[in-house]
Structure 1
Amino acid sequence: MNTKIINIALSQVGIKEVSGTQDNPEVLKYFNELGFDGAALKDETAWCSAFVNWVAKEANLQYSKKLNARSWLEVGTEVTKPEKGDVVVFWRDSKKSWKGHVAFFIRETQNWIYVLGGNQNNQVKISAYPKNRLLGYRRL
């Protein structure tokens, strides 16, 4: 288990987008501290990968440096039995689409994978995703 990743990610739980024209500076920091212009991107921009990048960077671990979730399929080492803190990549829309979601593994049940991530219901929280959407687990 990577407690450093989990502790950093948990410290951000509750941070959420601000609806309307204002932006939450806490969400924008995920972009800004990675070298992207948060003010230009806004907090409504898909930010799951920015969050995972920020957490990995804060933990002094390898990170994708990209804002697309599927970029994480090229980072770290592929694992089949995830531990808490491993990166989980899901597909969105279709398995062949470029779209996805990325977050940190917490636990799994027969049909669900529970992950801690950003831009989950527009905030940092733990959410359940269907196992049939899994693209891969990665260990940093």
Structure 2
Amino acid sequence: MTFEEWLISRLRAHGAYAGVMDGVYGRSLIDALARFQRAEGLKINGKADEETVKALRRAANSLDDSADTETVPSIPAEPVWMREARRFVGLREIPGPQSNSTILGWASALGGWVAGFYKNDDTAWCGLFIGHVIAATLPREPLPKNPLGALEWNKLGRRLTIPVLGAILTFTRSGGGHVGIYVGEDATHYHVLGGNQSNSVSITRIEKSRLSAVRWPATGDEPRGGKVILTAAGVPASKNEA
């Protein structure tokens, strides 16, 4: 059972969640967390923080912490937007006149001019992918005015001096930029979880010399840890982010 699946099952047991049992940390789960926090007299932030998880462990209608009915999966080290991004690893755009409906759905959900403009997954979608994972899991986070522009993500939240797990990294490239999520690094490359990497959602290695900025969402939990050192073995270097 994933952490999200456990959250949904416990919120349902406490009568705070009536949505789909999809294991997704999305708006329905965020709203349910806020509803549960309000009922329990907790800080209302829509997040699965330690106090909320502790309260969810209790059997419904019990005030006794010893009435824990289930083992709680560990609160993940990866932030919620990174966990959302991992759900799509392997998703690919469709060559030719057709487009992947999931990718187009991200544009539709963002709304505004993006929904009207983005009609074909031949259009670069690394920024759209990051726009989806941030908007879906941090609904109060201000997005760049042009989330499709990779280097526009230099304006997200606040700057970090070094990457940490889940940080948003932007990169320069010939003819544009690229944006993705920090998984770790080796001596010469960052390991990046992102969209439109060889036309798919994948983890790939991108040269450190191309780094433009390291950003962190203003409404996300505080960044934890420091550099994540990985081996280059088995992780391809990026050849196409356009």
Instruction: Give the TM-score normalised by the residue count of structure 2.
Output: 0.53
Query: How many pairs does the alignment contain?
Result: 136
- 1:29 and 2:105 equivalent? yes
Q: Comparing both chains, which one has the higher relative contact order based on Cα–Cα distances under 8 Å and sequence gaps of 6 or more?
A: 1
Structure with the bigger percentage of helix:
2
Once the 2 structures are TM-superposed, how far is the Cα of residue 5 of structure 1 from its aligned partner? 1.4
The change in CA–CA distance for 1:76 and 1:2 in structure 2 (over 3 A counts) is farther
- Counterpart in 2 of 1:4? 80
The change in CA–CA distance for 1:52 and 1:19 in structure 2 (over 3 A counts) is same
- Select which of 128, 132, 141 maps to 1:50: 128
Once the 2 structures are TM-superposed, how far is the Cα of residue 32 of structure 1 from its aligned partner? 1.3
- 1:71 and 2:149 equivalent? no
- 1:123 and 2:200 equivalent? yes
How many angstroms apart in 2 are the aligned matches of 1:114 and 1:80? Answer: 17
How many angstroms apart in 1 are the aligned matches of 2:210 and 2:118? Answer: 31
- Counterpart in 2 of 1:14? 90
1:22-53 CA distance string (max 9 Å, x none)? 11101111211112237853011000000001
How many angstroms apart in 2 are the aligned matches of 1:53 and 1:45? Answer: 15
1:48-75 CA distance string (max 9 Å, x none)? 0000011000111342242100111111
Once the 2 structures are TM-superposed, how far is the Cα of residue 90 of structure 1 from its aligned partner? 0.1
CA contact (8 A) 1:87 1:105 kept: yes
CA contact (8 A) 1:28 1:39 kept: no
Structure with the bigger percentage of strand:
1
Identity of aligned residues (%): 33
- Quick one: which amino acid aligns to residue 57 of structure 1? A
- 1:106 and 2:180 equivalent? no
Query: Structure 2 unaligned runs (5+)?
Result: 1-76, 218-242
Query: Structure 1 unaligned runs (5+)?
Result: none
CA RMSD of superposed structures (Å): 1.6
Secondary structure at the counterpart of residue 49 of structure 1: helix
CA contact (8 A) 1:112 1:130 kept: yes
Structure possessing the higher radius of gyration over alpha carbons = 2
